[in-house]
Structure 1
Amino acid sequence: MTDPDEHAPVAVTVDLVVLTVRDDQLQALTIRRGEEPHRGRWALPGGFLRPDEDLPDAAERELREETGLSADRFHLEQLGSYGAPDRDPRMRTVTVAYIALAADLPTPTAGTDAADARWQPVSRLLGTDDALAFDHSAILADGVERARAKLEYTPLATAFCGEEFTVTELRHVYEVVWGTSLDPRNFHRKVTGTAGFLEPTGATTTRDGGRPAQLFRAGTTRHLHPPLLR
């Protein structure tokens, strides 16, 4: 009989929901597992917490290992923790998930314990319950919903843009992440009329086609008022 006061050994991992906009789609970074359990299946990148690491340090290390980029290229925040007793067949494992967002991320290279690494459309991954190993489909779904919700009341959409961007490029991010079409005039009025959201650079570009478009960079506000609702 198990002693209810006995503490079973628990391993701690970090998993990463890394999102970017590629090929006009919201895409997530996935790795094909090269080892058991779930060898050969796609999963979110992540790994075990090292004895000398804090959680944010582990998340930043995994980002570097999986993308080759430092954390200062990303918006990185903790998403949540997942600790169902049977989530990992090896042992009792609790994972702390992080969400990482960035623009223009490179084609990934598989790490030492992965057979392959690639960007995959979120719509494809979330369209099948068992598309990812472990409970990573649920973690990915939570991460995507976090990103979609935060676009409503924070300037998080600018994390998917380059350092300088047009309103059209910003609107495209909202349309891709939310999966909907937005009225260009209304969107332009809202984002340029929200204090602190965008900061004009004073430069223009013709990369959107047509007349020169004004270039902006992210402003200083951390919350949008009023919010941009889906």
Structure 2
Amino acid sequence: MTPPSPTTAAEPLPLAVCVVIRHAERYLLVRRAPGRPAPGYWTPVTGKLEPDETLPEAARREVREETGLSVTVGPEVHRCPTSNGAFLLVWFRATLDDPTEPLALARDEVDDARWVTATEALALDPMFPATRAWLATDSAPIAASQ
């Protein structure tokens, strides 16, 4: 049997997106549904890229699929590996296209969603360390239009 190639560890991780949505000084967090990776964990909307999809396109699609909301994806704000090391998570900010649009959760992917302040978010459990760290240090001003 041939041992694994030493270059295997240097191969780039596949990309996934994490979408931080803030409105009226609150963050939208979703709880992962049973049967999904890390069920019960509170996170911003996350997901994998589809073939031939850009990162902003993936961010917009994942938000629509999981929450039913339409967003405008803003700048990339952070990158980190997922807690299991399977993906490189690319974080984006996004704003709601229509703040009156109701949530329509994809129950097979998320079983709850909440608009919470950073303080309320930090009290939710379980939560990945990267999400907790982001919420604890996110000090960028909230735009008046959010």
Partner of 1:145: 139
Please report how far the alpha carbon of residue 43 of structure 1 lies from its aligned counterpart in structure 2 after TM superposition.
1.5
1:18 aligns with 2:21: yes
Amino acid at match of 1:88: S
Query: TM-score, normalised on structure 1?
Result: 0.51
Mark the structure with the bigger radius of gyration. Answer: 1
Please state which structure has a larger fraction of its residues in strand.
2
Partner of 2:7: 5
What is the alpha-carbon root mean square deviation over aligned residues?
Answer: 2.8
Partner of 1:154: none
Please report how far the alpha carbon of residue 31 of structure 1 lies from its aligned counterpart in structure 2 after TM superposition.
1.0
Please report how far the alpha carbon of residue 3 of structure 1 lies from its aligned counterpart in structure 2 after TM superposition.
5.2
State how far apart, in whole Å, the 2-side matches of 1:37 and 1:63 are. 17
Per the alignment, do residues 28 and 105 of structure 1 end up closer, same or farther by CA in structure 2, a change over 3 Å counting?
farther
Which of 115, 126, 133 lines up with 2:122 in the alignment?
126
Please report how far the alpha carbon of residue 39 of structure 1 lies from its aligned counterpart in structure 2 after TM superposition.
1.1
Residue ranges of structure 2 left out of the alignment (5+ in a row): none
Please report how far the alpha carbon of residue 131 of structure 1 lies from its aligned counterpart in structure 2 after TM superposition.
5.1
The 8 Å contact of residues 131 and 137 in structure 1, kept in 2 or not, is answered as no
Per the alignment, do residues 57 and 67 of structure 1 end up closer, same or farther by CA in structure 2, a change over 3 Å counting?
same
Q: Which runs of 4+ in 1 moved over 6 A?
A: none
Partner of 1:109: 104
State how far apart, in whole Å, the 1-side matches of 2:73 and 2:5 are. 43
The 8 Å contact of residues 13 and 95 in structure 1, kept in 2 or not, is answered as yes
Q: What are the Cα deviations for residues 142-191 of structure 1, in whole angstroms up to 9, with x where unaligned?
A: 5x323x2xx6xxxxx2322xxxxxxxxxxxxxxxxxxxxxxxxxxxxxxx
Please report how far the alpha carbon of residue 44 of structure 1 lies from its aligned counterpart in structure 2 after TM superposition.
1.3
Please state which structure has a larger fraction of its residues in helix.
1
Query: TM-score, normalised on structure 2?
Result: 0.76
Percent identity over the alignment is 29
